[in-house]
């Protein structure tokens, strides 16, 4: 068994090499210098750095949240030290081109590395994650000069970056942002406005911070069609790349959070002196589209970050249940007998199995989706098209189902530790608090559900959903041939039918102009389709386990039996819930929609 | 000057090892393997010698099946110039390893041979000493500090009484202790570069004839489970109890 607190490493190998068979990615010219050997070496290094540089200060960050001293953010020193090690090892450049000093690795490998860092310390990894997102955007939409001045220093680990979307009056509702950009004669802009919830918005970790800011150019149309994207450097930069004076960006305050306290969250003001230099990225009024270009990757990142907190709690509570003795079996009450281990109790096993199903199921889904990102490089047009469709559909599921159920896993980890789990002497309460942001940020889970049902399931006449169902049905057909799995195959097929029916019914209502009613139960739809998708991943894992068992060594026999049992558990206790959820969606239950504000 | 570093592939220090049910050894199926941490320190020291201009070439060597090429590649990614795998499918006991290393050392003619003071799997602390004796060259074990100057090395050793400083003639064998240095992390681009560095494979039989192990291992078993404790009423009771168990 794996003894890593960050991830079950046998399960990770299983996902990458048995389920996803990621070595096939090395057929793409971009990755052809890679091999399983380099993938393993990179993952090993990520694990080593995560365990030695990120994990040890996870609690200290929680107990010492960032402070503002003389207008500057003060962080504990360990964060900078960990990020120096991260940068020196080259992790900022995992995805970047060889020509830009990068490693040109597949996104799925980068996701695995991120997962290990997130499990060790979600707050510290937020700094490079945001910087990398900014660099990725500039890679796609920046001019050559913008890439040289702002993207390369991020890849080199010298600059950090942020995403400035929300404003105090406009959180999820980006159509209502007010930040203004005045064009200047030299082609640059002067920005005025305020941005809220800006993670890593100010700190002294690097030489500079590249804020990517959404704002309206004067005279731009109202709503989302009038939003543009700007580079706002914290320090202005000369044409030769040297840093000059401070730009007019003010740290107006810090937000004090429930969890992830090591990642500073700020309120920023732009152009208080009327001199905030900003540079347009891409086309005017296309800012939101540009920003959303990277959204699938970002949302997979949030979902997987959540799942890794779930994983950390699962592994911790599993270890605890294996060691702590408490109580006796219902048919064995003799106080002279020693108490049994927690893991002997059926109800504790239930809680462990739930966590295992949520965490390992979502990890399979998340890395599968990450590989879909890589399949954008496939030479076959049809593969590219289908991968893209599936990615569009699965992304909100990873983000919302992943963060909802990973949080449930954290809740169960606390429950297994009992009173100790509720104390700060044990890490599981922090996992829960750190994880609680994930259903909120990067598009709340409510918004994800609307996106899933109202857009992704409906787009191109349901093409994405059909592609997903086709793959699910293919797995079910194979599973039907395997002893002990045929019942699950049938269960999955009837779930597909049910999900298809309620999606069609919702589509009808939307065509009939009843969008509000049709989408009133979108969250139930999310749970339903999420459960169905995770069931599919459990069936796939069970199939591999079933086939591998006859030739497995002793340790692997236990591992594969665990996979089969988790599959049985999910199909027995979780998947049947979709029937009820499907009814609520299919019949367009009105109990929430019809409620009135004054009746509360 | 060449520096030869011997590294051993061992069960990672984080893994809780289990004895196989049939008592034939420790179960390594699917277990994470790493470079022996003391050997990693030896390699780090060799790289620092080269960076300080005191060595021209760092050669990293391991003995085992092709599996140990993974550790050799890690060594190359850390910065070694080339690697040699001594190919054998048998676990080597210290004397056999030392004989093979001696043959390789005589081929390669290094100025310094570095290896960990012991490997964390069997904790023998023998191979370095045996190698020096077979080779007929000086040795300094448990090094906490190494200063090279010309044909000699000043080695500060950690011993029970404190620190002992030895001046030894080169070539020599130096075995490394925990506080000598902190090994660097690999850099990602160096993982790619390591793939292109030379890794030669030599057969164990080509280095030593009669490469069999000299010690027979009877059986492996885990340490006995700790028994239940008892409460004693007073110190006298404690003394009586200890005496009755032959512990006092």
Which residues in B4-19 are b (16+ Cβ under 10 Å) and which e? bbbbbbbbbeebeeee
Show the tokens assigned to A592: 């929430």
Contact in structure between A585 and A506 (CB atoms under 8 Å):
yes
pLDDT band at B209 (very low <50, low <70, confident <90, very high): confident
Quick one: pLDDT at residue A1?
44
Do A42 and B73 make contact, defined as CB atoms within 8 angstroms?
no
From the list B99, B125, B73, the residue with the least C-alpha distance to B208 is: B99
Q: Which of A26, A34, A36, A44 to mutate to test the interface with B (most CBs of B within 10 A)?
A: A44
Which secondary-structure segment (H or E) carries B203? strand B199-203
List of chain B residues whose C-beta atoms are within 8 Å of the C-beta of residue A96: none
Q: Which of B191, B195, B197, B228 to mutate to test the interface with A (most CBs of A within 10 A)?
A: B191
What domain range is B173 assigned to? 2-244
H-helix segments, A418-521: 428-435, 445-450, 459-480, 486-511, 515-518
From the list A307, A586, A529, A575, the residue with the least C-alpha distance to A397 is: A529
Query: How close is the nearest chain A Cα to the Cα of B199, in Å?
Result: 15
Q: Which tens digits make up the pLDDT trace of A368-399? A: 999 999 999 999 999 999 999 999 999 999 99
Report the residue from B15, B74, B188 with minimal CB separation from A91: B188
Contact in structure between A399 and A299 (CB atoms under 8 Å):
yes
Per-domain residue ranges for chain A? 9-155, 159-285, 444-593
List of chain A residues whose C-beta atoms are within 8 Å of the C-beta of residue B192: 33, 38, 103
CATH number where B8 lies? 3.40.50.620
Instruction: Give B153's strand partners.
Output: B148, B168
Measured distance CA(A190)–CA(A273) in Å, rounded: 10
Q: Tell me the CA end-to-end span of chain A in Å, nearest whole number.
A: 52
A473 CA to centre of own chain: 27
Quick one: pLDDT at residue B16?
84
Percent of chain A with pLDDT over 90: 93
Q: What is the CA radius of gyration of chain A?
A: 25
Show the tokens assigned to A380: 């076959």
Instruction: Give A246's strand partners.
Output: A235
A319 touches chain B (CB under 8 A): no
Dihedral sign (CA A220, A226, A232, A236): negative
List of chain A residues whose C-beta atoms are within 8 Å of the C-beta of residue B77: 41
Instruction: Give A190's strand partners.
Output: A182, A277
Q: What is the average pLDDT score of chain A?
A: 96
Mean pLDDT confidence for A51-55:
96
- Residue in B with minimal Cα distance to A10: B30
Do B187 and A89 make contact, defined as CB atoms within 8 angstroms?
yes
Measured distance CA(A403)–CA(A381) in Å, rounded: 32
User: Which residues fall within 8 angstroms of residue B149, CB to CB, at 6 or more apart?
Assistant: none
Q: Which tens digits make up the pLDDT trace of A172-197? A: 888 999 999 999 999 999 999 999 99
pTM: 0.92
Report the residue from A3, A4, A45 with minimal CB separation from B186: A45
Do A555 and B27 make contact, defined as CB atoms within 8 angstroms?
yes
Do B191 and A45 make contact, defined as CB atoms within 8 angstroms?
yes
Question: Into which CATH architecture does domain A9-155 fall?
Answer: Orthogonal Bundle (1.10)
Q: Which tens digits make up the pLDDT trace of A227-280? A: 999 999 999 999 999 999 999 999 999 999 999 999 999 999 999 999 999 999
Do B27 and A554 make contact, defined as CB atoms within 8 angstroms?
yes
Do B30 and A553 make contact, defined as CB atoms within 8 angstroms?
yes
| Domains A159-285 and A444-593 fall in the same CATH topology | no
List of chain A residues whose C-beta atoms are within 8 Å of the C-beta of residue B21: 554
Measured distance CA(A460)–CA(A468) in Å, rounded: 14
Quick one: pLDDT at residue A164?
95
Show the tokens assigned to A326: 């408490």
Q: What is the average pLDDT score of chain B?
A: 94
Do you know the residue count of chain A? 600
Measured distance CA(A179)–CA(A168) in Å, rounded: 11
List of chain A residues whose C-beta atoms are within 8 Å of the C-beta of residue B70: 37, 40
Torsion of CA B33, B34, B38, B41, to 10 degrees: 180
Please determine, for residue A2, whether its predicted confidence score (pLDDT) is greater than 70. no
Half-sphere exposure of A523 (CA within 13 A, CB side): 9
Q: Which tens digits make up the pLDDT trace of A511-555? A: 999 999 999 999 999 999 999 999 999 999 999 999 999 999 888
List of chain A residues whose C-beta atoms are within 8 Å of the C-beta of residue B83: none
Torsion of CA A385, A386, A388, A389, to 10 degrees: 120
List of chain A residues whose C-beta atoms are within 8 Å of the C-beta of residue B17: none
Number of domains in chain B: 1
A30 touches chain B (CB under 8 A): no
- Residue in A with minimal Cα distance to B190: A89
Query: How close is the nearest chain A Cα to the Cα of B27, in Å?
Result: 9
- A444-593, CATH topology level: Butyryl-CoA Dehydrogenase, subunit A; domain 3 (1.20.140)
- A159-285, CATH topology level: Butyryl-CoA Dehydrogenase, subunit A; domain 2 (2.40.110)
Among A118-122, A267-271, A546-550, B158-162, the minimum mean pLDDT is found in B158-162
Quick one: pLDDT at residue A233?
98
Neighbours of A384 (CB within 10 A): 14
List of chain B residues whose C-beta atoms are within 8 Å of the C-beta of residue A92: none
Q: Is the ipTM of this complex over 0.85?
A: no
Query: How close is the nearest chain A Cα to the Cα of B81, in Å?
Result: 18
Show the tokens assigned to A466: 């059909």
Contact in structure between A107 and A96 (CB atoms under 8 Å):
no
């Amino acid at each position: 068994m794996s003894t890593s607190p960050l991830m079950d490493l046998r399960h990770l190998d299983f996902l990458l090499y048995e389920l996803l068979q990621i070595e096939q990615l090395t057929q793409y010219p971009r990755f052809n210098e890679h091999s399983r050997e380099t993938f393993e070496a990179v993952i090993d290094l990520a694990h080593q750095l995560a365990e030695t540089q990120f994990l040890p200060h996870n609690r200290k960050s929680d107990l010492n949240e960032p402070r503002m001293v003389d207008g500057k953010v003060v962080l504990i020193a360990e964060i900078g030290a960990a990020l120096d090690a991260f940068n020196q090892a080259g992790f900022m450049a995992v995805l970047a081109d060889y020509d830009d000093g990068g490693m040109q690795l597949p996104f799925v490998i980068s996701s695995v590395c991120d997962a290990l860092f997130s499990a060790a310390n979600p707050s510290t990894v937020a700094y490079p994650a945001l910087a990398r997102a900014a660099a990725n955007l500039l890679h796609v939409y920046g001019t050559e000069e913008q890439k040289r001045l702002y993207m390369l220093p991020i890849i080199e680990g010298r600059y950090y970056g942020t995403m400035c979307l929300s404003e105090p009056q406009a959180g999820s509702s980006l159509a209502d942002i007010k930040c203004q950009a005045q064009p200047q004669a030299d082609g640059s802009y002067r920005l005025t406005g305020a941005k809220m919830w800006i993670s890593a918005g100010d700190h002294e970790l690097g030489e500079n911070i590249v804020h990517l800011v959404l704002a309206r150019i004067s005279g731009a149309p109202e709503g989302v069609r009038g939003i543009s994207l700007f580079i706002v450097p914290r320090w202005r930069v000369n044409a030769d790349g040297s840093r000059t004076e401070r730009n007019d960006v003010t740290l107006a305050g810090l937000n004090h959070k429930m969890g992830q306290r090591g990642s500073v969250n700020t309120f920023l003001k732009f152009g208080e002196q009327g001199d905030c230099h900003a540079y347009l990225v891409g086309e005017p009024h296309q800012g939101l589209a540009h920003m959303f270009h990277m959204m699938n990757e970002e949302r997979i990142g949030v979902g997987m970050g959540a799942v890794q907190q779930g994983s950390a709690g699962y592994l911790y509570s599993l270890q605890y249940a294996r060691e702590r003795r408490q109580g006796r079996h219902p048919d064995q009450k003799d106080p002279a007998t020693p108490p049994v281990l927690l893991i002997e109790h059926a109800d504790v096993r239930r809680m462990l199995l739930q966590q295992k199903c949520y965490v390992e199921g979502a990890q399979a889904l998340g890395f599968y989706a990450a590989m879909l990102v890589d399949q954008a490089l496939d030479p076959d047009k049809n593969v590219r098209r289908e991968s893209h469709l599936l990615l569009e559909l699965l992304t909100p599921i990873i983000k919302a189902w992943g963060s909802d159920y990973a949080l449930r896993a954290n809740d169960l980890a606390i429950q297994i530790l009992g009173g100790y789990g509720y104390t700060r002497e044990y890490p599981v309460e922090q996992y829960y608090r750190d994880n609680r942001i994930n259903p909120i940020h990067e598009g709340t889970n409510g918004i994800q559900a609307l996106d899933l049902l109202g857009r992704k399931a409906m787009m191109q006449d349901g093409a994405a959903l059909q592609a997903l169902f086709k793959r699910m049905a293919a797995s079910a057909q194979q599973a039907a041939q395997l002893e002990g799995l045929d019942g699950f195959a049938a269960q999955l097929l009837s779930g597909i039918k049910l999900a298809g029916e309620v999606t069609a019914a919702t589509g009808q209502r939307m065509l009939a102009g009843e969008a509000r009613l049709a989408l009133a139960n979108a969250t139930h739809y999310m749970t339903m389709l999420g459960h169905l998708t995770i069931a599919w991943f459990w069936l796939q894992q069970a199939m591999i386990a079933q086939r591998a068992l006859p030739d497995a060594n002793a340790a692997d026999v236990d591992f594969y039996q665990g996979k089969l049992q988790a599959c049985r558990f999910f199909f027995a206790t979780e998947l049947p819930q979709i029937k009820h959820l499907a009814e609520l969606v299919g019949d367009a239950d009105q109990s929430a929609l019809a409620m009135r504000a004054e009746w509360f | 000057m060449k520096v030869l570093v011997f590294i051993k592939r061992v069960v990672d220090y984080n893994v809780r090892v289990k004895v196989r049910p049939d008592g034939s050894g420790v179960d390594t199926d699917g277990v994470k393997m790493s470079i022996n941490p003391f050997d990693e320190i030896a390699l780090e020291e060799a790289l620092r010698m080269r960076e300080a201009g005191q060595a021209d070439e760092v050669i990293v060597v391991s003995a085992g099946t092709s599996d140990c090429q993974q550790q050799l590649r890690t060594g190359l990614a850390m910065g070694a110039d080339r690697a040699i795998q001594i190919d054998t499918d048998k676990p080597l006991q210290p004397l056999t390893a030392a004989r093979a290393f001696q043959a390789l050392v005589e081929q390669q003619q290094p100025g310094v041979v570095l290896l960990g003071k012991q490997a964390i799997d069997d904790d023998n602390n023998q191979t370095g000493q045996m190698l020096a004796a077979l080779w007929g060259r000086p040795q300094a074990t448990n090094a906490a500090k190494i200063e090279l100057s010309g044909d000699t090395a000043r080695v500060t050793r950690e011993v029970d009484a404190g620190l002992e400083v030895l001046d030894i003639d080169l070539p020599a064998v130096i075995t490394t202790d925990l506080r000598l240095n902190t090994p660097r992390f690999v850099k990602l681009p160096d993982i790619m570069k390591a793939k292109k560095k030379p890794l030669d494979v030599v057969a164990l039989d080509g280095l030593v004839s009669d490469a069999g192990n000299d010690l027979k291992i009877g059986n492996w078993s885990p340490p006995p489970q700790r028994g239940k404790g008892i409460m004693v009423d007073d110190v006298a009771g404690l003394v009586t109890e200890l005496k009755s168990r032959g512990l006092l």
